[in-house]
Amino acid sequence: MIKLNDKVTYRKIEDSILIITPWDNAMHTLEDIGKLIFEALIDAKEKGDILQEILDNYDVELVEAKNDLEQFIDSLIEKEIFIEEE
């Protein structure tokens, strides 16, 4: 399971999410599917539920959506926006 890093600050701004990571003074902007995934992770939704939401809202193939979801979550963990819990 993953959770939002306590040191991360984020704000919803219109149709985007702005994320600030203080350890590298970076700002990250998420829109569309990235925003959908971020909000779903904040709500502690399971990957399968997030995948189904992507398939329901976007014209994308299952395999592509699944791979992109995994890669996006991995990048959020790599950037320490989300951290893995046991």
Look up the pTM and report it.
Answer: 0.91
32 sits in the region (left: phi over 0; alpha: psi -120 to 50; else beta) called: left
Domain that holds residue 34: 2-84
Collapsed DSSP state (helix, strand, coil) of residue 34: helix
For 43-86, write each residue's pLDDT tens digit. 999 999 999 999 999 999 999 999 999 999 999 999 999 999 87
pLDDT at position 30, please? 97
How many domains does the chain contain in total?
A: 1
For 17-37, write each residue's pLDDT tens digit. 999 999 999 999 999 999 999
**Cα atoms found within 13 Å of the Cα of residue 86, Cβ hemisphere only:** 0
pLDDT at position 1, please? 84
